Amino acid sequence: MYFFATAVTGLAAAICFAAFSWGVKRHFRSTGAMPMGMKVTSLLSLGFFALFLLHIGHGASAFWFVALGLFVASLAVFAAAVSASRHTPPTLAFDTDAPNFLLQHGPYRYVRHPFYLAYVLFWLGTAVATQAWAGWAAPLVMTALYIQAASREERKFATSELAGAYKAYCGRAGMFWPRPLALLAG
């Protein structure tokens, strides 16, 4: 059972990481060269994932099933966000483009940044899977980066032609977590 838990947890994490990597290369668009903030985010992600693989190689924690649930939820949110944005893909994190559309369907109906939510769930899953002290640095550091990226994106919307619509949208959809009333109105 212990080997099974470790293998399943490691495989689920690898599938998530591969999907996210695909997203950077094939789904998101860029207005030029990859922004420096995105390069830093990508390098840190790769480093933290390598650290996760090192720790998971010693065996999954007793809470592997919680980690597995976080990985499944992460992949589901990511897939829903890709589906909702497939005709109008967002730009890479830290890009300097001026927004010219506002996604409000699929998971965007409930959260303004579903991709970041998917990534946060993933990093929490890696920490829970290994229960290594060093592993908890990943969700802390990466979540801080996602908050910074999301805040920059929100400032871009606030100074764009979509400022009014975005302000109203912010009242309905949470940044990373759904607003309770939005779920009830669902």
C-beta separation of 75 from 129 below 8 A: no
Shortest CA distance to 73 belongs to which of 114, 134, 127?
A: 114
Q: How many CB atoms are closer than 10 A to CB 69?
A: 15
Confidence of residue 1 (pLDDT cuts 50, 70, 90): low
Each residue of 80-116: pLDDT tens digit? Answer: 999 999 999 999 999 999 999 999 999 999 999 999 9
DSSP three-state, residue 131? coil
Average pLDDT over residues 150-178: 96
Shortest CA distance to 21 belongs to which of 40, 45, 44?
A: 45
Q: How many CB atoms are closer than 10 A to CB 184?
A: 7
Each residue of 2-36: pLDDT tens digit? Answer: 799 999 999 999 999 999 999 999 999 988 899 99
**Structural domains in the chain?**
2-185 (1.20.120.1630)
How far is residue 173's CA from residue 15's CA, in Å, rounded to a whole number? 28
- Amino acid, single-letter form, for residue 17: F
Whole-model pTM?
0.95
